[in-house]
């Protein structure tokens, strides 16, 4: 077994202790998480993360059939890492947009009759798009496609909606749930630590408010995802602190579906002077996430942001989900310089990517019910 060979190859007593904890399904501490960042070779991390991944999921690798709609790239906030920052863009710029309700509804209708299970709606925080607007929009989407799962709005968008409507978080979320919203994505988390947040996104909701919003979602019966933005000004202690706060909330509510590390990209933003981290650092981030977040069932690689080749590598570093077909109108990542300038993959391409590294492609719905096993599908 790979984990026994790993034990034979290392002499560091702390790393050996972590191997034993993983083998025995015991939780590692925050101090041990930081130790992994500072002392563990990537091969060690990969072996442990893959052991956990295969113990939980075998070779199964999940994807779903989804599409994204981005209502606007105009935003009231000044996130230094973001190409949509108010510092960089206003409504009169040539590349600014705000979709009308009619345009969004037409985008939904364009998928009529197509085998799609989820629409993902996130965007800039527009001062004119509030709770009432989005409640009505979701209701109309569900009238057109009652079967479509609506995953929508980061905690940052929701915090702005709630404050503007003068309602509490749970009331805000209950209104959206009653309109037909099914779950929350994980965006806006960035890094919870205030010292880092003050440098990269000082004027939007705090890390504590992000966590409070997701706890409120779980309390009203809406599951969510969680993210982290890594590879900029943070240190290992900030990454582990962030994941530890998520782990504690998951202990309390059990409402998180998946954890999604998001790599900082340095194009067209106020942090372009910071060099992007290497693929080795990507592998470390995902592997440590899989080892540390023992109460998260799924670790997801968002392929449009991390790239297809790295996504395949990550399937041996703890990742068991690669998001969806996407068909993405979202421009936030392409503007930041990612490889996927128009991110879209067909189901066949998703299956081929997963099979290309000898994993088992499984189509899922938004809350990880298995819909179809593509193991036996013949590729053209």
pLDDT at 335: 47
- Residue 361 falls within a domain, yes or no? yes
pLDDT at 376: 82
Distance (Å, rounded) from C-alpha 118 to C-alpha 147? 9
**Which region holds residue 309: left if phi is over 0, alpha if psi is between -120 and 50, else beta?**
alpha
- Residue 174 falls within a domain, yes or no? yes
Angle between helices 155-165 and 169-179 (to 10 degrees): 100
Among residues 157, 177, 256, the alpha carbon closest in space to that of 215 is found at: 256
- Residue 8 falls within a domain, yes or no? no
- Residue 35 falls within a domain, yes or no? no
pLDDT tens digits for 4-39?
A: 899 999 999 999 999 999 999 999 999 999 999 999
What is the number of domains present in the chain?
1
CB neighbours of residue 113 within 10 Å: 7
Among residues 97, 70, 75, the alpha carbon closest in space to that of 87 is found at: 75
- Residue 321 falls within a domain, yes or no? yes
* CATH number for the domain harbouring residue 175: 3.20.20.70
pTM of the model as a whole: 0.92
pLDDT tens digits for 70-102?
A: 888 777 766 776 666 544 445 555 567 788 889
pLDDT at 341: 47
Asked whether 163 and 193 are in contact (CB, 8 A), the reply is no
3-class secondary structure for 296-328?
CCEEECCHHHHCHHHHHHHCCCCCCEEEECCCE
- Residue 128 falls within a domain, yes or no? yes
Look up residue 283 and give its DSSP letter.
Answer: H
pLDDT at 363: 96
Residue-number span of the structural domain to which 175 is assigned: 55-366
- Residue 183 falls within a domain, yes or no? yes
Among residues 205, 144, 126, the alpha carbon closest in space to that of 180 is found at: 144
pLDDT at 343: 62
- Residue 12 falls within a domain, yes or no? no
pLDDT at 333: 43
Q: Six-digit token pair at 314? A: 């990550």
Mean pLDDT (10-residue bins), the chain, 380 residues: 88 96 97 98 97 98 93 75 56 68 91 91 81 95 96 95 96 98 96 94 92 98 98 97 98 98 85 90 98 98 93 98 72 47 77 96 97 82
């Amino acid at each position: 077994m790979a984990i026994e060979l790993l034990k034979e190859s290392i002499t560091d007593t702390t790393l050996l202790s972590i191997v034993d904890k993983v083998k025995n399904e015991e939780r590692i501490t925050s101090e041990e998480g930081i130790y992994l960042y500072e002392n563990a070779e990537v091969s060690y991390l990969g072996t442990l993360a893959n052991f956990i991944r295969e113990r939980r999921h075998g070779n199964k690798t999940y994807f779903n059939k989804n599409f994204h709609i981005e209502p606007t790239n105009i935003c009231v906030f000044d996130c230094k890492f973001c190409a949509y920052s108010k510092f960089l863009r206003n409504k009169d710029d040539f590349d600014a947009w705000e979709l009308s309700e009619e345009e969004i509804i037409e985008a939904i209708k364009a998928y009529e009759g197509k085998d799609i299970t989820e629409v993902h709606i996130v965007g800039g925080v527009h001062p004119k798009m509030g709770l009432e607007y989005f409640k009505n929009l979701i209701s109309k989407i569900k009238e057109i496609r009652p079967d479509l799962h609506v995953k929508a709005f980061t905690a940052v968008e929701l915090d702005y909606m709630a404050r503007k409507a003068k309602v509490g978080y749970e009331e805000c979320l209950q209104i959206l749930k009653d309109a037909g919203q099914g779950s929350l994505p994980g965006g806006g988390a960035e890094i919870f630590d205030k010292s880092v947040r003050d440098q990269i996104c000082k004027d939007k909701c705090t890390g504590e408010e992000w966590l409070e919003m997701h706890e409120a979602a779980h309390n009203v019966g809406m599951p969510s995802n969680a993210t982290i933005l890594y590879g900029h000004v943070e240190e290992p202690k900030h990454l582990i602190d962030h994941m530890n706060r998520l782990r504690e909330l998951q202990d309390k509510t059990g409402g998180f579906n998946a954890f999604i590390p998001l790599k900082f990209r340095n194009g067209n933003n106020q942090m372009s002077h910071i060099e992007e981290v290497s693929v080795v650092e990507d592998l470390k981030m995902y592997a440590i996430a899989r080892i540390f977040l023992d109460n998260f069932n799924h670790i997801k690689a968002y392929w449009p942001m991390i790239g297809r080749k790295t996504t395949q590598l990550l399937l041996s570093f703890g990742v068991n989900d690669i998001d969806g077909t996407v068909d993405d109108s979202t421009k936030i990542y392409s503007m930041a310089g990612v490889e996927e300038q128009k991110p879209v993959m067909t189901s066949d391409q998703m299956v081929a990517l997963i099979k290309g590294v000898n994993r088992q492609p499984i189509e899922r719905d938004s809350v990880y019910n298995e819909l179809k096993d593509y193991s036996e599908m013949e590729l053209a």
